A = this chain, B = another copy of it.
Amino acid sequence: MRKYVYTFIDGVAEGKGAWRDLLGGKGAGLAEMTALGIRVPPGFTISTEACRAYFAAGNRFPEGLWEEVLAALGRVEAAMNLRYGDPARPLLLSVRSGAPVSMPGMLDTVLNLGLNDDTVQGLIAASGNPRFAYDAYRRFVTMFGNVVLGVPHEAFEKLLEAAKQRAGVEADHELPAEALKALIAPMKALIREKTGRDFPEAPSEQLRLSIAAVFASWYNDRAVAYRQLHRIPETMGTAVNVQAMVFGNLGDDSGTGVVFTRNPATGEKGLFGEFLLNAQGEDVVAGIRTPQPVSALRQAMPEVYAELEAVCQRLERHFRDMQDVEFTVQARVLYLLQTRTGKRTAPAAVRIAVDMVHEGLITQREALLRVEPEHIDQLLHPMVDPQATVTVIGRGLPASPGAACGQVVFSAAEAVRRHARGAAVILVRQETSPEDIRGMSAAAGILTARGGMTSHAAVVARGMGKCCVVGCQELSIHEEERYCQLGGHVIREGDILTLDGATGRVILGEAPLTTAELGAHFAELMGWADAHRRLGVRSNADTPHDAEASRRFGAEGIGLCRTEHMFFAADRIMAVRQMIIADDAAQRQQALRQIQAMQKEDFKAIFRIMDGLPVTIRLLDPPLHEFLPHTAEEIDALAAYMQQPAHALRQRVEALREANPMLGHRGCRLGITRPEIYKMQVRAILEAACELTRQGVQVLPEIMIPLVSHVQELAVIKRDVQEVAKQVLQEQGVTVPYLVGTMIELPRAALTAGAIAREAEFFSFGTNDLTQTCFGLSRDDAGSFLPYYLEHGILPEDPFVVLDEEGVGELVRVGVERGRQTRPQLKVGICGEHGGEPRSVAFCHRIGLDYVSCSPYRVPVARLAAAHAALQAESPAKAPESEG
């Protein structure tokens, strides 16, 4: 027969820390701590296998499970010298979920099992504290009624509020024992009324139903949504941990807390966390009471604090990572309730990883895999410009770093709606709950009025790498009326706020943002990443400013320099419009002469900065309409500039409008029908290159032809390019090694890459456009259905964010394969936005690209992602989960 239950009692555990899949994260941690001799309330873990068997059996306990539970319970009773359901010396139990992957707050938990009208008397006798006992009892009835029987929490809250009014008190803990006792019967009546069944007095029934409820919570809505969001398989299931209760709310020699073994925001070594005297653990996590720093424990019970410090150090050395530890002190005895790898901010992740290498705890390889590439992105997040004068209207806790600026909204739904329309939003909530997950994901920043550094909002925001300020207590929120008040200001929905996640400041309006300084830890880690990666990393940079950022962030060249972005400057747009719109060659030539001089200066500036590194310049690729004048004023201005009658110009503009500009007269199509444009650009590139080469700058231009669908397009243009190049090089008397290649951004180009590689000296996959054409999906128009698709799991990811490996990826794979068949030395890169997305980078590594190119600020992300890809290819073990 299968074994479903694994005990951990008094230093002996049946399970092991490595059995996370079987025991869940919490269960594995409890087993491991028990085996280490750390004090843990005795208990047992019901395995995920039991959970799966429960579902497989049609939501019934599989054969033998209940018997195993009872046997394990007997051993817990023996260890505690108490009996579950014994009116004289009752053992109370907690029943907690614990999936193999952390799903904070998503699954259910029931505490204080075993209480009924009889056993509560035993608890009074044992604790000598009737108020504590009745408080535990009414909490249990509430929690059981809500979690197991499905009665809304608010209904219980109403009874509690009424009791407080009757007693004339404000806070829960001011209610006397009698008042608490008087709540029990109405709460049970409420359960009967809402569910038609009685609250189960029998402790065994309480246990059986609670275990089943925790299993069932695997499929509650928020858990399903969370798994979708985090790509956690449905089949995993959750374990259930049944433990003897210990109480932090027995009096002022008790308490509960959460600590990190290092500072999760900065990575600094030393205990960091929170403690609440005379409280149950749930009070801290739920953010209902704002706790004190953990140093409060040192003052109150120095010997307990010292023990905690020692235990934490031991756990960290044992698990070789920073731990997030929950503990309870019951009458000066320290119990560890949970340990797991602690979530941390990006700077902390970097610092901890690097420090631990120096401490000899982990290897460089491990350190690299400990830092998620997305963490690096957070490091590079903007912060509020320290130089700027800003209007600070309030302060909260700096729960997750970065800075964010956006429209204020007061509900998750509104956040999703406005985000879908392209707005940056700041989600402002009393406190967040798991129901808010999608809104938090959509928001640029999160601000809460309540809760501490380990509240839901803080934990989730750090996980998402999102700027978050919590516990801004002056903030009063009027959700229904859609406004809030802070520092004497009224902020309505849609008004702009800026959050500073580094300091906790709340700033009125849009504050100027700037980027963070990257410290020595970062530089060291990046150095290791560069040593381990095979994939090159370039940047997409259109301006000297971008080029400078690229070098600063370690790009090894420019993979995409979009010339059209140079064309929108106010002092150029007229000439550019004339070039596009003119229907006779003379007019076009006149415009081209003007633009050529400007382009040459653009290229010189960029080449100079990129001295010694390749620069891929894409020739003009405008969806035509982007260059057309739209308003009557624009047309009039252009008509005056071109000395043409406005009505004629209007007709011409009208004739150039396209039904589907994305699939229209753009890219090399324009280069072919108006060859003088590309010739001008090539001349500008090569004149710039020659002039700098003479000055000793090493220029490596790669001329890239966009939107090729047929090799013949490239052949025709390449002939022109070579002809101009020959002329320029002769005129200038300098040799510049240049390449001519193409974007592969249309399915046909990928499929016929073998033919195209006859002409192309390099390929760069334009995966943005390739995604559009492969899916037949206009990015501009997808807003009306793509969010629906993602929400309903019709597409697993937004394909514009994560490269679609099955479809678009197959085109890339085929393109590389066929291109290299024709030209084995073909240089192949990717320059879509996927080039900076870690999973997409891993894909690029696997299929053998030479480099990825991404926005300058994503370059470090890509460098680390490339190192991850290389390390994971060496030994395909998964990166350790960053959460327990």
Contacts and interface: CB of A to CB of B under 8 A. Distances in A.
Interface of A: 656, 658-665, 669-670, 672-673, 707, 709-710, 712-713, 716, 745-748, 751-752, 755, 769, 772-778, 780-781, 784-785, 788-789, 792-795, 804, 806-808, 810-811
A710 B774 CA distance: 11
Given A658-B778, A663-B778, A664-B784, 7 more contacts: A659-B778, A660-B662, A660-B778, A660-B780, A662-B776, A670-B785, A746-B775
A20 to B, nearest CB: 30
Nearest to A804: B748
B747 A672 contact: no
Contacts of A658: 778, 780-781
Nearest to A667: B776
Contacts of A774: 709, 746-748, 751, 773
Contacts of A755: 806
A126 B780 CA distance: 84
A776 to B, nearest CB: 4
Contacts of A716: 792, 794
Contacts of A778: 658-660, 662-664
B747 A795 contact: no
A847 B752 CA distance: 18
Top-3 shortest CB links A-B: A663-B778, A748-B807, A660-B778
A795 B710 CA distance: 7
Contacts of A747: 747, 773-774, 776, 807, 811
A817 to B, nearest CB: 13
A15 B745 CA distance: 54
B659 A709 contact: no
A772 B709 contact: no
A669 B788 CA distance: 10
Contacts of A769: 776
Contacts of A775: 709, 746, 748
Given A662-B663, A709-B775, A781-B664, A752 B806 contact: yes
A672 B776 contact: no
Given A662-B659, A663-B660, A781-B665, A748 B808 contact: yes
Residue in A792, A807, A810 with the greatest tally of chain B CB atoms within 10 Å: A807
A706 to B, nearest CB: 10
A656 B794 CA distance: 22
B672 A788 contact: yes
A390 B24 CA distance: 88
Nearest to A670: B785
A788 B672 CA distance: 9
Contacts of A712: 793-795
A807 B752 contact: yes
B777 A709 contact: yes
Contact of A772 (B663, B710, B806): B663
Contact of A794 (B710, B793, B811): B710
A789 to B, nearest CB: 7
Contacts of A710: 794-795, 807
A100 to B, nearest CB: 26
B672 A807 contact: no
Residue in A656, A670, A774, A808 with the greatest tally of chain B CB atoms within 10 Å: A774
